[in-house]
Amino acid sequence: MILVGSDFALDFVLRFRQKMFPGVPVMHMGVGHRFLEAIPNLPADVKGVYVVHDIAGTIALALRFHPKARHLFIVTGISDRGKEHRDATAAALASATRPSRARRWNTASRT
């Protein structure tokens, strides 16, 4: 059995499995639901539980645990998934019950 832990790892295994691991079943973890939805014919022997990020819930929990926080720094990557997280975080912040000064960085930022 092959256990993969990200979109990138699953993509690699699906592309090269027939050459490297023919007939070996695959279990995935940490794979985004949008990534899986984009695969038209996922093989029947590829199984797992997809990830759904609760960004609004995470922000609410952070603010509850740290009620005196005045700033919220959000760091995302520059990959497609990082951009999705940035956009989802911006939407979650817009509807946060306790507004907070937020600053967003991505991994390419240096300031």
Domain ranges of the chain: 2-51, 55-106
Structure confidence by residue, pLDDT tens digits, 19-32? 999 999 999 998 98
100 CB-contact burial (10 Å; exposed 0-12 / middle 13-18 / buried 19+) = middle
d(C-alpha 50, C-alpha 34), whole Å:
9
Give this prediction's pTM.
Answer: 0.63
C-alpha closest to that of 79 among 87, 71, 90:
87
Q: What is the mean pLDDT of residues 52-75?
A: 84
Distance CA 75, CA 54 (A): 16
